Amino acid sequence: MASRSAPDRAGLPGLISRSRLIAVACLVIAGAGVTTSPVSAQSCQALWVERNSYYKEAGYCFKTSRAIGYFGNRGCSYDYEGDVPLSVNIRDRIAEIKAMERRFGCN
């Protein structure tokens, strides 16, 4: 019987999560000047997922129904974004994502 990889992994070196791989692919497409509505919507979703994945992985307790519905709050520990223990690199990446979301007009 063939072994199966974890469903949320793309099977790449470094075990890049599928959602992060999709986010990067959407950003490459968006950066290439392809800005049709469906791509923009997909880019916004990918950015939102990537940004909030960092918070989920660090134990943030989401407040919005969208985030709770997508990520859940099981195992969360931090009620305030500022209390979430994130590295400087991750905080910088989140700032980049927020800037892209503003540029794309994401909600």
For residue 24, name the pLDDT band (cuts at 50, 70, 90): low
What CA–CA distance (Å, rounded) separates 91 from 86?
Answer: 6
Q: Which residue has the tokens 């072994």?
A: 3
**Is pTM beyond 0.85 here?**
no
Parse the chain into domains and list their residue ranges. Answer: 18-101
Tens digit of each residue's pLDDT (9 = 90 or more) over 86-99: 999 999 999 999 99
What CA–CA distance (Å, rounded) separates 61 from 56?
Answer: 8
Q: Tell me, what's the pLDDT at 87?
A: 98
Would you say residue 100 has pLDDT above 60? yes
Tens digit of each residue's pLDDT (9 = 90 or more) over 42-61: 899 999 999 999 999 999 99
